[in-house]
Structure 1
Amino acid sequence: MDVWRDADDPDLVAAVAGGHVGALAELYARHEPWLAVRLHHRCNDREVVADVVQDTFVAVWRSADRFRGEGEVAAWVWGIAIHQLVGRLRRRRPAEPVAEPSARWSTQHSAEEAVLEGIEYGDLGRALAGLSPELRAVLQATVLDGLSAREAGRLLGISEVTVRTRRHRARQRLRLLLTQGNPT
């Protein structure tokens, strides 16, 4: 792992894509602490969070060759983690149909879990998919993750002013996509 300590995140992902387990261990050491905390804000079940963190890094191992180098590695890892969390929460649903969906959600899922599923699979998810990766990353960081413009800028490697500009453009585009359907 010491060999990888001085490597930057994109170089680590490239090394992971080449099969270097030590590079994955270094990525894990750098990103697991904040990832676990952020996931815990979305799901109060520590066991689920621990499983999602592990699943996230397995997915990083398997998909490192698909990292395009656009944006920060941390944002890419977070995107994988959210997909893992939504998938995990979806699998927790009861198998039998429930007559009243609102009753199911109130007893089985938190409101935040319902929102995450809506983001992934509903109209909002389709509209978010219609945004450029840059706009989507800013919305994800500032709206979904609750980061300030300054924090999002650090995470994404852009200025705070750029974050605010992209957030404004993303909201305008989302409004258009949600009111007129998804014209992408």
Structure 2
Amino acid sequence: MHETWADARLLEAVADGDRRALEVLYGRHAPWLVTRLTRRCADPTVVDESVQDTFVAVWRTARKWHGRGEVAAWIWGIGIRRLLDQLRRRPLTVPPAYEQVVVSAEEQVLLGIEYGELGPALNSLSPELRAVVQATVLDGLTTREAGRLLGIPTGTVKTRMMRAKALLREELA
């Protein structure tokens, strides 16, 4: 029965303490959440802990979802914050086997996002602008896909991206 429910209805049931509804939400959303978080963190233990923390937070805070936007976007917001919390608690260590290895361009960019000047610049953006940058640039979604995920029109995604680029240029100049 729960399997046919829309995400919004499942989340309402979770808010009322329905564990089966949480199981269905987990089954629908955990796989893509793992994939997206893995793009930002190569440590599967950290990713798994972040996903578990995400769904504990969904269980505890389901009443805070106000019905605006997609449930998936709300879960993503929790998930990325849980990943960042996990990463902040762990010291940055480079295994000896990788000290002399040439790092790919993508890895350099991701390390720059987390530990370089870009991280604080991204954090200076409003949550709305940061979400668009993360969805389109870091996750590689099209503007249409980002709009669907974030629950906003495609034109709004484009406008927010233009604004975010301008603010990032100022911040990094």
Q: Same fold, TM exceeding 0.5?
A: yes
Matched, 1:56 2:50: no
Aligned counterpart, 1:97: none
Q: 1:124 to 1:155 in 2, by over 3 A?
A: closer
> What is the total number of aligned residue pairs between the two structures?
163
C-alpha displacement of 1:6: 2.3
More divergent stretch after superposition (78-87 vs 68-77): 68-77
SS in 2 for 1:71: coil
User: RMSD in angstroms over aligned alpha carbons?
Assistant: 3.0
Cα deviation digits, residues 78-124 of structure 1 (max 9, x gap): 1111111111112221xxxxxxxxxx66569x7535623679x8353
Query: Which deviations, in whole Å up to 9, do the C-alpha atoms of 1:41-69 show, x marking residues without a partner?
Result: 11112222112111111111111111122
Q: Does 1:145 align with 2:139?
A: yes
Whole-Å separation in 2 of the counterparts to 1:144 and 1:7: 31
Contact 2:39-2:139 within 8 A present in 1 as well: no
Q: How does 1:4-83 map to 2 (within 5 A)?
A: 4-83=2-81
Letter in 2 for 1:38: R
- 2:164 pairs with 1:166: no
Answer whether contact 1:5 1:26 (CA < 8 A) is retained: yes
Shift of 1:167: 1.7
Residue pair 2:10, 2:21 contacting (<8 A) in 1 also: yes
Q: Percent identity?
A: 51
Kindly tell me: are residues 166 and 59 of structure 1, through their superposed partners in 2, closer, same or farther at Cα, counting changes over 3 Å?
same
- For residue 36 of structure 1, give the secondary structure of its aligned residue in structure 2: helix
Unaligned runs of 5+ in 2: 97-106
Segments of 5+ residues of structure 1 without an aligned counterpart are 94-103, 180-184
Distance in 2 between residues matched to 1:113 and 1:24, nearest whole Å: 34
Show structure 1 runs of 4+ deviating over 4 A.
Answer: 104-108, 173-176
CA distance change for structure 1 residues 69 and 136 in 2, over 3 Å: closer, same or farther?
farther
Does 68-77 or 136-145 show the bigger shift? Answer: 136-145
Aligned to 2:84: 86
Please tell me whether the aligned partners of residues 7 and 25 of structure 2 are also in contact (alpha carbons under 8 angstroms).
yes
- State the partner residue of 1:98: none
